[in-house]
Structure 1
């Protein structure tokens, strides 16, 4: 029990380090809401803050140059996503800003950058290996997931079909990761689900501090629907495929030997 508790605490500390960019970003959004009235719009300040935070993350070694390139791609993909979804009324940014296009402040892309930063940092800090990963199956499926989040406004929603296809696409794929001196593994599908849940938690925190608002939150904050857990569990596959495309993967069942657990009776 002592060893299990120590490993759990170490895992929690690793996850906190992986979330450094996201936590700093949400903290900045929260702090901006406490500022007095300024001649510069809050969304414009947050764009500047996001740029400075990105540069600082690179200088401090939170993200490598290669990670920053992936994170920038996440930002651009996220902005496209925001432009379409805001136009369709899925959520809104109610405050005015100079750096606002089509109802979307340019800082909005940093919310997706934070997800990209988390995946990149987790890959490095936890020495992740992918075992049995099939990019030829995952790449078109992730693309279909991304497109469906737009097209479901006009065509039948295919997310349940895509979720069903995700199971065979990830079957036999394991995420092997390190916690201290020990290595563990979990199915990739379980990893998507866990990340989706914690992104839902983060989304509740972000909307609470005013990062953006869903229609039912305009008259007062309400918890984000639990249905978003499934949506994030699917959407994380897009970021995952982008990051995995620049990492080493293996096709064998076990990439490294697992230490034997000592049994204390």
Structure 2
């Protein structure tokens, strides 16, 4: 232990920055394991499918297999799987609504046996991937939240964000107002994480924005490979509108709220032996 302390104390300046940066990257990559493997399969599987199996069906098989492998190898716990299943349901409901005949915000043009209400079942895993990342990063980086807003307020804002994805087609888009409320709510909130042996801090709002940006980048890659299309991409591919970044950031806030609330509930009802 003494040698470990001396070794850690020797890490200063650029050497410490390099070690912590590398370890942070490794832990982030580990937290993205499900999302990374899943999105790699999206880019690898040809649009025509393989061995007579349609692409969307193959993606569903791969996603379930990755999830099962993570449970089998104990890279993911059963409690984490339950939370991820919740994200899957929440995401599928939104997908079914957005792709319905009355809305048609985007579409899944290819055939699949595993389509339900016109939505391939693998699509829910794209939302589950975001939840998986947050859950894994929370554990691997020993995340703690300082000045978390009252949970009932955070839940109220998260519900408003989710409902706005449905209602903005009819009663107006209140995304800006919801974002303003979220900024006020999380203005003092700080996320503390530990890449190696020392705590580091980041404003919670900055974390939301950064995660939302990387999801927006992944969405551009997915539409480029024709996994789904927005109406303006039917003739030729174009960059997903930058406004989607804000939508993904709000979705990240909603996902974080679910994870934080589940952890809060579990801590509240836990009774030490």
Question: Structure 2 length normalisation: TM-score?
Answer: 0.86
Matches within 5 A, 1:164-243: 164-243=180-259
Q: Tell me the residue number matched to 1:81.
A: 94
Alignment of 1:160 with 2:181, yes or no, is: no
Q: Tell me the residue number matched to 2:53.
A: 40
Residue 60 of structure 1 deviates from its aligned partner by 2.1
Residue 59 of structure 1 deviates from its aligned partner by 1.6
Residue 246 of structure 1 deviates from its aligned partner by 2.6
Residue from 21, 31, 34 that aligns with 1:8: 21
Q: Tell me the residue number matched to 1:110.
A: 125
| Whole-Å separation in 1 of the counterparts to 2:235 and 2:61 | 28
| Whole-Å separation in 1 of the counterparts to 2:37 and 2:225 | 13
Q: Is the 8 A contact 2:146 2:192 kept in 1?
A: yes
Q: Is the 8 A contact 1:79 1:108 kept in 2?
A: yes
| Whole-Å separation in 2 of the counterparts to 1:2 and 1:228 | 38
* CA shift digits 1:150-195 (9 cap, x unpaired): 1001111100000110112112211111111111111211111111
Unaligned runs of 5+ in 2: 1-13, 266-273
Residue 10 of structure 1 deviates from its aligned partner by 2.1
Q: Is the 8 A contact 2:47 2:55 kept in 1?
A: no
Residue from 11, 21, 24 that aligns with 2:37: 24
Residue 46 of structure 1 deviates from its aligned partner by 1.4
Higher relative contact order (CA 8 A, sep 6+): 1
| Whole-Å separation in 2 of the counterparts to 1:243 and 1:189 | 16
RMSD of Structure 2 on Structure 1 (CA): 1.7
| Whole-Å separation in 2 of the counterparts to 1:92 and 1:62 | 33
Question: Structure 1 length normalisation: TM-score?
Answer: 0.89
Higher percent of residues as helix: 2
| Whole-Å separation in 2 of the counterparts to 1:129 and 1:29 | 33
| Whole-Å separation in 1 of the counterparts to 2:75 and 2:216 | 23
Residue 208 of structure 1 deviates from its aligned partner by 2.3
SS of 1:245's equivalent in the other structure is helix
Matches within 5 A, 1:32-71: 32-33=45-46, 38-71=51-84
After TM superposition, what 4+ stretches of structure 1 lie above 4 angstroms from structure 2?
34-37
Alignment of 1:122 with 2:137, yes or no, is: yes
* CA shift digits 1:42-90 (9 cap, x unpaired): 1112111111111111122332111110100000100001001111111
* CA shift digits 1:97-126 (9 cap, x unpaired): 111122211111010111111001000110
| Whole-Å separation in 1 of the counterparts to 2:47 and 2:15 | 42
* CA shift digits 1:210-241 (9 cap, x unpaired): 32221222233222121111111111111111
Going from structure 1 to structure 2, the CA distance change for 1:152 and 1:72 (only over 3 Å counts) comes to: same
Alignment of 1:145 with 2:161, yes or no, is: yes
| Whole-Å separation in 1 of the counterparts to 2:172 and 2:48 | 44
